[in-house]
Copies of this chain bind each other. A is one copy, B any other.
Amino acid sequence: MSTNPAGTGLQLRSLVKKTGELELSLASVPIPEPGPDEVLVRIEASPLNPSDLALLFGGADMNTAKASGTTARPVITATIPERAMTALAGRVDEPMPVGNEGAGVIVKAGSSEVAQALLGKTVAVFGGAMYAQYRAVKAQQCLVLPPGTAPAEGASCFVNPLTSLSMVEVMRREGHKALVHTAAASNLGQMLNKICIQDGVPLVNIVRSQAQENILRAIGAKYICNSSSPSFMQDLTQALAETGATLAFDAIGGGTLAGQILTCMEAAANLTAKEYSRYGSSVHKQVYIYGGLDRRPTELNRSFGLAWGVGGWLLTPFLQKIGFAEAQKLRERVASQLKTTFASHYTKEVSLAEALTLDAIGVYGKQATGEKYLINPNKGL
C-alpha cells in the first residue's frame, strides 16, 4: 500500500454505445494532483446502491450480460433495449465514472490550511466517481469520520442515512403524521425504522416475504404488511387507519403497489367519513416514488378519489430546498450515530475487478434485500 501515490489508478467506467450496447470496464487514469483546496482520497469502501446501479447498468438488460477481457481487466457487455435509449441520449459514447459515495484515507493534500489539516484522516465523501482507487475532492466536501471508524463503516454515510432522515422531514413539512415505506426491510428501511422509533413517528412497513417481516420485527417494527399475503389490502387499510399515515415513500415504482397504497389510504379515510362524497375523501394522499426496483410502468386505477398525488422524489433537490443549515443538522445526526442507527450491512467486499464479474453482478444486480455489495477499490493492494 503506497501512501505517496504516483502514476495511475483504476477507475470503473460505464459506456453506453450508440449501437445500444453497454460496456463496463476498468480504465487506467492518471492519479489526480490535488489543487490548493483539495485532498486526494485513497478510496477503500464504496457501496453499490440502487441509484448507482441505474447509472452503472444504463437501462441494459443484464440477463444478456457477457464477460470478456482478463481477470485483472474484465469487460462486461450487455444489450440495452431500444426503448431505453431515448432517455440515455445525453450519455451516448461518453464513458461515465460511477459511485455516488464512499470513504477512504487522505493520502495527499493541497497547500491550503484546511486541506493540510486532513492529511491522514479517514473521511467519507458524497461526490460521484467513487468506484476508483483515487479521487481528488474539495477539502470541505469531506466528512471526517470519528477516530476508530473504518472506511467500510463510513462508506454509506450519505445516500441511505440522509434519504431516510429526509423522509421524516418531508412528512413533517407536508403536514402528515405517519409514514408508509415499501421494500421496507432494506438497509434504508431498517434505518428508517430506527429513526421513526427514536422520533415516535408511526411507520407502516410494506415487505413481500416472511423473512423480511422477521428482519423488521427483530429491530422493533410495529406495523408490517406483507404484500404477498392474501389479506394484504385489509392489513394495510387497518395499519393506515391506526396510524393515520397519508404519505408513502415507494422504492418499487412499477406495477400496482403505489396505487394500492392510495386505495387503502382512501379506504382508511372513509372508515371515519360522515357522509358520502362522490369525489372521495378530502384527505390528501401522497406517494413519492424514489426508486425503481420494479421497472414496469406504474399502474394507478384511480379508485381513491381526487385528493391524491404521485411523484418522483430525489434526495439532492430536497436538501437544496431545505437549505444548508437544515441539511447540516441531518448530516450531524448521521455522524453521531454512524455505528448504530445508520450502520449499513454488506454481504461481501469486492475489488473493482471482482465487481465486474457475471457472478457478482448476478448477486448485487438483483438488488435483493440483504445482498448488498461493497466495493473496495484498493482491496488487496
CA distance A309 to B289 in the complex (A): 10
Contact of A278 among B54, B83, B303 (CB under 8 A): B54
Q: For A302, what are the chain B residues with a Cβ–Cβ distance below 8 Å? A: 253-254, 289, 292, 297-298, 312
Residues of B within 8 A of A86 (CB): 267, 303
Interface 9-mer from A68-76, A89-97, A157-165, A167-175: A89-97
Residues of B within 8 A of A259 (CB): 297
**Contacting residues, chain B, for A273 (C-beta < 8 A):** 90
The answer to the question of A314 belonging to the interface, with a C-beta cut-off of 8 Å to chain B, is yes
Partner of A305, one of B94, B253, B299, B312: B312
Looking at chain A's contact residues, the main secondary structure is: mixed
Closest B residue to A277 using CB positions: B90
Interface residues of A in 298-317 (CB under 8 A from B): 298-303, 305-314, 317
Contacts of A313 in B (CB 8 A): 306
The reply to whether B297 and A87 form a contact with Cβ atoms under 8 Å apart is no
A276 beta carbon closer than 8 Å to chain B: yes
C-alpha gap A290/B305 in the complex (Å): 10
* Chain A residues bordering chain B, tally (CB within 8 A): 46
Which chain B residues lie closer than 8 Å to A307 at the CB level? 312, 314, 317
Contacts of A279 in B (CB 8 A): 314
> Residue A282 at the B interface, CB < 8 A?
yes
Q: How far is the CB of A326 from chain B (nearest CB, A)?
A: 20
Asked if residues A270 and B303 are in contact (CB atoms below 8 Å), the reply is no
Q: Which residue of B lies closest to A100 (CB)?
A: B278
Complex contacts, A89 vs chain B, CB 8 Å: 270
Complexed CA–CA distance, A291 and B267 (Å): 21
Cβ-neighbour of A308 out of B290, B297, B300, B312 (below 8 A): B312
Whole-angstrom distance between the alpha carbons of A267 and B89 in the complex? 10
Q: Is A55 an interface residue (CB 8 A)?
A: yes
C-alpha spacing A306/B292, complex, angstroms: 10
Please give, as numbers and ranges, the residues of chain B lying within 8 Å of A20 by CB-CB distance: none
- Of all chain B residues, the one with the shortest Cβ separation from A307 is B312
Tell whether, in the assembled complex, residue B276 and residue A317 are in contact, meaning their CB atoms are under 8 Å apart.
no
Sample of 19 further A-B pairs with CB below 8 A, known A305-B312, A309-B309: A86-B267, A87-B266, A87-B280, A87-B303, A90-B276, A91-B276, A279-B314, A290-B306, A297-B299, A298-B301, A299-B300, A302-B312, A306-B314, A307-B314, A307-B317, A308-B311, A308-B312, A309-B311, A309-B312
